[in-house]
Structure 1
């Protein structure tokens, strides 16, 4: 296992997920007194696992057709675009 990649991915995803809509939705589900916190945790965890799996599979397929360098440019432009769009909406 490549521990450097593991730690890098963990930190990047952890920071990206903090305070986002997914975490807020999970907090709202967990705030319901009649709902098991373990059920909310398991459901949210499984959803993140499946979403991450889709991302890994899509990345594997896309990387067969697009170079890593171009993917980095596309991702960078995408993140900047989302940031600008978010700022304009604020």
Structure 2
């Protein structure tokens, strides 16, 4: 249960104010909160399921430290590209 709480807090804090939340806000203004909420829940669940499945497979073949560093590097690269309007 401790691990689930750690993942929950990390994901919850990371998602606050991100583009997904802002997109959900925009959709809610057009389609209502319930449709926007349900649509975003299903989308996020599927995306996170893919991430969990891929991460589980990668965890068998690569050390966790390498996966974390690669994830961080991709995150930084995407951020830089977004900063300069290339993404």
Q: Does the pair score TM above 0.5?
A: yes
Q: Distance in 2 between matches of 1:87 and 1:57?
A: 27
Partner of 1:39: 35
2:81 and 2:61 map into 1 onto residues whose CA distance is: 30
TM superposition score normalised by structure 2: 0.79
TM normalised by structure 1 equals 0.77
The aligned counterpart of 2:26 is: 28
Which residue of structure 2 lines up, in the alignment, with residue 4 of structure 1? 2
> How many residues in Structure 1 have an aligned counterpart in Structure 2?
85
Q: Which has the higher helix share?
A: 2
Per-residue Cα deviation, 1:8-51 (whole angstroms, up to 9, x for no partner): 1111111111111111111001112xx23212111111111111
Q: Structure 1 stretches (4+) deviating beyond 6 angstroms?
A: none
Instruction: Kindly report which structure 2 residues correspond to 1:1-90, keeping only aligned pairs within 5 A, or say none.
Output: 3-32=1-30, 35-83=31-79, 85=80, 89=84
> What runs of 5+ residues in structure 2 fail to find an aligned partner?
none
